[in-house]
Every structure is written in structure tokens, then in C-alpha cells.
Chain A
Amino acid sequence: TAGITQAPTSQILAAGRSMTLRCTQDMRHNAMYWYRQDLGLGLRLIHYSNTAGTTGKGEVPDGYSVSRANTDDFPLTLASAVPSQTSVYFCASSSSVGGSYNEQFFGPGTRLTVL
């Protein structure tokens, strides 16, 4: 079982360009999340989706957008990248029961550098 896959593994992107980070899970989890990890700041939530067709903003959503067309995929798009979006991006997923969310499983991450 693959769990969660992310693509690409790493990317160097010119400022002003757009890019979509892909995330796919095969665990049929209803909830999915995008975090960014920066040295000294830990992991911060960008966007989340509790179920297919719905999304919500996290702590640091500016400059990012997401969609959740189906259960398995949760792409993160940077419409016009800026250097401050240089980071490691982690996708995660979890199941929920009765409104309570279970353990989150993390993908391998995408290392993005914006120049």
C-alpha cells in the first residue's frame, strides 16, 4: 500500500510562475491537509479538506489554493510563486468518526525553492 504520494519530490521555480503540488492517498481517508515546514517555525497548516467537495483555510493560506474533486486527490496550487513560499510541503490525510479526526498520516514531502 502506497499510503500518500506527493509529486514532485523537489522543484526549483522562478518567482511569478505558477505550480501545482500533487497529493494522492489510497487509504480512502475523508480528510486531507497541506502543511508547510520552515526551520524554526515547525509545521503550519495551509489548507484542509474535511471531505470531497469542501475545503477550508488554515493558518497560512495566502498565495495558495486547493481543490478536492474526489476523495483521493488534493492538489495545492501556487498561482504566482514568491520567494517566501520556499519551504517543504507536506500533504497528510486522516479518517474521522463522529466528527472526531483520527491520526494523520503524512506524505514524503515536496521541497520547493522559489528564486
Chain B
Amino acid sequence: ELKVEQNPLFLSMQEGKNYTIYCNYSTTSDRLYWYRQDPGKSLESLFVLLSNGAVKQEGRLMASLDTKARLSTLHITAAVHDLSATYFCAVVPGYALNFGKGTSLLVTP
């Protein structure tokens, strides 16, 4: 059974701090996605990681992929309130996405 595990599931952090969200998966996947979801909204694609060692950055977010360890990280640098949202990782062992349960991030002053 495919498992996609994110941790932590809930994260409250102060503005200006750094933190990392982890995504472990249990089967081979040729790509990994990170999505963002604001409350009551749809999912917005953040990153697509296609190969081992891939690193992508957008603003204060940086994602990386280690396919050998089956691990992806989403690093938050100097958090700001606008980053408050739920973040999902997802892998694609076949045709459809398999999601982690999501990490709910709250950035406080």
C-alpha cells in the first residue's frame, strides 16, 4: 500500500523564523508535487520536482527531492503571515496523485 506521510501535520511558527516540512513516500515515483491550499479554496501548484537532487525555489519557499531516500522537503525561510495555508505533497506512482494528509501552517506575528 502506498503511503505518503507528511510531518508535521500542524505547525505554528512566528514570523521571521525558518522551518522545514517533510514528505516521505513508500514507493517509486518519477515526480513529486507540492501544492498550497488556502481555507475554502482550491489547490495551487507550487513545485514540480522531477529528478533526484532537484531543488526549486520560489520566494521564501524551497523544495527539494531525494528519490533514494524517498523524501522531499519544503523549507520556509523567514516566514510571513501570507504563507499561512495548508501544504500538500503528492507523488505519482502511476497516473493519479497520491496525497499526503497536508501540513497546516499558521504564521503568527
Contact = CB atoms under 8 A, between A and B. Distances in A.
Interface string A71-115: 000000000000000000010100010001101111111000000
A64 to B, nearest CB: 15
Contacts of B95: 31, 48, 50, 96, 101
Interface string B17-48: 00000000000001001000000011111001
B36 to A, nearest CB: 11
A43 B88 contact: yes
A43 B42 contact: no
Contacts of A2: none
Interface string A28-48: 000101010000111111001
A96 B94 CA distance: 12
A38 B88 CA distance: 14
A49 to B, nearest CB: 10
Given A33-B96, A43-B97, A48-B95, A103 B33 contact: yes
A105 B45 contact: yes
Interface of A: 31, 33, 35, 40-45, 48, 50, 58, 90, 92, 96, 100-101, 103-109
Interface of B: 30, 33, 41-45, 48, 88, 92, 95-102
